[in-house]
Structure 1
Amino acid sequence: MPILNVNCDECPVHRKSIFRGIDACDMLDLSLKKTCYFYRKGQMIFYEGKGALGIYCVNQGKIKIFKLGPEGKEQIIRVVLPGEVMGLRSVVSGRPYSASATALDDSVCCFISKRKFFQLTIKYPEISQRIMILLSQLLDGAENKITSLAQKSVRERLAETLLSLDEAFKSEKCNDGGIISLSREDLANLVGTATETVIRLLSEFKHDELVEIRGRKIKVLNKKELLKIGKAYYA
């Protein structure tokens, strides 16, 4: 559902935008040309295989990017937070969206057309540099996920995923400063395992005082021990 456009200069996540630093006239034009949409929890934003008409900048909420297997099993690739961009790789490559996107919470996303996107990337080389960095980070993330799925146990992957989400949510100052709020099914689809397995392992982590669990909310208590279990590296 389209809503009143958020002024880019006044956006709370403007400092993270790939378009930060453009001149005032172009910033105003971007604010006028983009379209902001409100998505309710569970609402689809775009579908895998559909033509990529532009990119989405997340203003509020959390979005899951996922692919469906042959039997309809969902594999979550990543969770997108405020200030981050969706659809970038597809727009740059000129190919359809390679995955689907659904709102995990009530969310606001700003849609920027391909035409406007490329106008700004041509005019501002620093935007292209930021895009290259983002695409490189996405590639690193994909390679790490493939390695993790192939070489780590479910217990190790869950510990690694909890640490990654904890860091991401803390850096975005969302969910009360690092509290992970995901359904057990979504967490399982992010880890790449069955929901029942995640529930069992979370109970073990809670018993060992590695995490605190209240309903669907998870708080990391013992980062050091989770690092050992997940064999992961976080600052």
Structure 2
Amino acid sequence: MSLEGLFPIDKWDLRSGSILHQLPEADEERLRLHMSEQRYAKGDLLFREGGLPLGIFFIREGRVKRFTTDRDQKEHILYVANKGELLGYHAVLAEERFPDSAAALEDTRVAFIPREDFLATLDTSAVLSRRLLRAFSHEYTVLTNSISIFAQRSVRERLAITLIVLREKYKENSHRGPVSINISREDLANMVGTAKENVVRLLREFKTAHIVETRGRTIFITNLKKLIDISTFGPEGI
């Protein structure tokens, strides 16, 4: 089922996957000059908040969470990045330390492009410059939307929104049946901004209402329309 006309998913997706897509051949050659690949197991850190950016990360397979940690060491997940998306370029361009951390949500394969090669390509590529500018502008819109919407929504509504967004992130795993979202309750709670107990209770309610099914940590959305209704972000709110 498509979300078109039902839920404004573009307001929740950073679209960084388009930055390196089908660049001119010369640009791709510069980026590949010293590119390396690494595999990360679930929970492995790609980079840590406050660390020095030595390059950028391109997700070839898997999913990565971006998060910050408060003084009590509780995670606050800001975004889930998919295959094809780019991480770390903000800190490289700003010449600042990483403002957040990134860790694999599952087995993940990532290409690393050294800072010098990325900046050298950017200096000579009008295409890459334009795409980065568009990405920055759209990201500002997405983050502003997320902050404002989540500040006004109940935990139940925030969970519904989060599940809808995750459905788009995980739908490539599903061929014909319901989309399966393989995520821990702790990570889900850190995305919603609530305690794990609240997420477990609300998922039980959604299951009783035949909106989702669960098998272990995997969540299957079986009634997307009801979930959109709960989010109060349906066509009237678009």
> TM class by shorter-chain length?
0.7 to 0.9
User: Aligned to 2:73, what secondary structure does the other structure show?
Assistant: coil
Q: 1:27 to 1:126 in 2, by over 3 A?
A: closer
Q: Is the 8 A contact 1:175 1:181 kept in 2?
A: no
Residues 155 and 101 from structure 1, CA distance in 2 versus in 1: closer, same or farther, beyond 3 angstroms?
same
1:174 aligns with 2:170: no
> What residue ranges of structure 1 are gaps of 5+ in the alignment?
1-15
Letter in 2 for 1:194: A
Unaligned ranges ≥5, structure 2: 1-16
Equivalents in 2 of 1:221, 1:50: separation in Å? 41
Deviation at 1:137, TM superposition (A): 2.6
Larger deviation: 176-185 or 161-170? 176-185
Query: Are the counterparts in 1 of residues 33 and 117 from structure 2 also a CA contact under 8 Å?
Result: no
The residue number in structure 2 matching 1:30 is: 31
Q: 1:55 to 1:132 in 2, by over 3 A?
A: same
Spell out the pairing of 1:1-235 with structure 2 (5 A cutoff).
16=17, 18-170=19-171, 173-174=172-173, 178-233=179-234
Contact 2:30 2:117 in 1 (8 A): no
Coordinate RMSD, CA, aligned = 1.9
| Whole-Å separation in 1 of the counterparts to 2:229 and 2:43 | 34
Question: Identity of aligned pairs, percent?
Answer: 38
Deviation at 1:60, TM superposition (A): 0.8
SS at match of 1:212: strand
Instruction: State the alpha-carbon separation in 2 of the partners of residues 220 and 97 from structure 1.
Output: 34
Partner SS, residue 49 of structure 1: coil
Letter aligned with residue 52 of structure 1: P
> Which whole-Å deviations, capped at 9, do the CAs of 1:55-99 have from their partners, x for residues lacking one?
100111111110001111110001111000111211121111000
Secondary structure of 2:98's counterpart equals: coil
How many residues get paired?
218
Deviation per residue, 1:152-210 (Å, 9 max, x gap): 1000000000011112222xx13667321100000000000000100000010011011
Instruction: Give the partner amino acid of 1:190.
Output: M
- Bigger Cα displacement from structure 2, 43-52 vs 120-129: 120-129
Aligned-residue offset at 1:48: 0.3
TM-score (normalised: structure 2): 0.85
Contact 1:22/1:124 (8 A) holds in 2: no
Is the CA contact (8 Å cut-off) linking 1:67 and 1:76 kept in structure 2?
yes
